């Protein structure tokens, strides 16, 4: 049985005071929430402050990106060890905004995945098709290409610890959510890819989140799908009641 996992991607939002207030609200109102794993991924400059607020709570800390090198002359980048120093457990990798706005390639994502795994961070690896790719019936082709490129060389043991997020790009921040059937179809495809590339045990173990305009009013139906194991939430993760409302929709 895969435990539902709801993660909030705060992106480049909030200021320090608002980030702390959001974290405080989440800690206060998440007490007693059982059966679901929760994480927040604030902007890197607020990781320390938010980490202090959520320390000892049931909310884990995640980063939105990392660099693959351990240290050195990489101006502006942040290493796996630095994130661990701040108490991070997770790191989002290959988010569509990094792929499509910032030009990150599967090869670059793959280096980051290996660095994160080697250093003990759990990668949340995002895959997802553009609207034109879906309309051209290329969704599965894109998912396979991103899977094979971003996750090349990941061992069976490592794969079991990793989280995949299926995020159709046309549904991110647009209010256009994939229907539960559309999302489930791709999640099932991802599980088939896991079985082909690894085995049934891996396919059954890996948690696959859905992301793309998840809100409290659509979460339960999405999360009830057999191959959807949680959500990666953008906009709705910036409000305590919405983020925890989504978590409340996870099957018990
Ligand atoms: C995201 O950024 O990963 C995301 C899913 O955003 P939103 O929930 O706002 O669509």
Distance CA(144)–CA(168), nearest Å, equals: 14
- In total, how many domains does the chain have? 1
Q: Give the position of tokens 């997802």.
A: 128
Give 225's pLDDT tier (boundaries 50, 70, 90): very high
Query: Helix axis angle, 180-197 relative to 139-150, nearest 10°?
Result: 40
First to last CA, the chain: 11
Take atom 1 of ligand 1 and give the residue whose Cα is closest: 234
Ligand 1 centroid distance, CA of 35 (Å): 23
Ligand 1 centroid distance, CA of 13 (Å): 13
Of 213, 215, 217, 231, the residue with max ligand 1 atoms within 8 A of its CB, to mutate for a pocket test, comes to 213
Tokens coding 151: 């996750």
Is residue 86 exposed (0-12), middle (13-18) or buried (19+ Cβ within 10 Å)? middle
pLDDT at 1: 80
Quote the pTM value. 0.97
The verdict on whether 95 is a catalytic residue reads: yes
194 Cβ contact list (under 8 Å, min separation 6): 159, 202, 203, 206
The verdict on whether 167 is a catalytic residue reads: yes
Q: Give the SS3 label for residue 195.
A: helix
Of 164, 167, 174, the residue with max ligand 1 atoms within 8 A of its CB, to mutate for a pocket test, comes to 167
22 Cβ contact list (under 8 Å, min separation 6): 10, 14, 40, 238, 240
pLDDT at 203: 98
Q: Counting atoms of ligand 1 from 1, which one is nearest the CA of 174?
A: 10
Distance CA(164)–CA(120), nearest Å, equals: 16
CATH number of the domain where residue 34 is located: 3.20.20.70
Distance CA(239)–CA(242), nearest Å, equals: 5
Average pLDDT for 86-93: 98
Residue 37 sits in which domain range?
5-248
pLDDT in tens, 43-57: 999 999 999 999 999
Q: Which of 57, 26, 14, 60 is nearest to 40 (CA)?
A: 60
Q: Give the SS3 label for residue 104.
A: coil
pLDDT in tens, 143-189: 999 999 999 999 999 999 999 999 999 999 898 889 999 999 999 99
């Amino acid at each position: 049985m895969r435990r539902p996992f709801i993660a909030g991607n705060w992106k480049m939002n909030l200021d320090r005071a608002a980030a702390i207030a959001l974290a405080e609200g989440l800690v206060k109102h998440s007490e007693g929430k059982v059966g679901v794993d929760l994480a927040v991924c604030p902007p890197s400059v607020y990781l320390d402050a938010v980490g202090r607020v959520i320390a000892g709570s049931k909310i884990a800390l995640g980063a939105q990106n990392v660099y693959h090198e351990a240290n050195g002359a990489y101006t502006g980048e942040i290493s796996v060890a630095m994130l661990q120093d701040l108490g991070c457990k997770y790191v989002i990798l290959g988010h569509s905004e990094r792929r499509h706005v910032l030009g990150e390639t599967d090869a670059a994502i793959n280096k980051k995945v290996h660095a994160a795994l080697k250093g003990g961070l759990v990668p949340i690896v995002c895959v997802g098709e553009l609207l034109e790719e879906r309309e051209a019936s290329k969704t599965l082709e894109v998912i396979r290409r991103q899977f094979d490129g971003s996750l090349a060389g990941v061992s069976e043991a490592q794969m079991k610890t990793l989280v995949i997020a299926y995020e159709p790009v046309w549904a991110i921040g647009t209010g256009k959510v994939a229907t539960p059937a559309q999302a489930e179809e791709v999640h099932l495809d991802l599980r088939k890819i896991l079985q082909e590339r690894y085995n049934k045990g891996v396919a059954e173990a890996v948690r696959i989140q859905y992301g793309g305009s998840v809100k409290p009013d659509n979460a339960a139906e999405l999360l009830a799908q057999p191959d959807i194991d949680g959500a990666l939430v953008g906009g709705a993760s910036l409000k305590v009641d919405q983020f925890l409302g989504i978590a409340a929709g996870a099957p018990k």
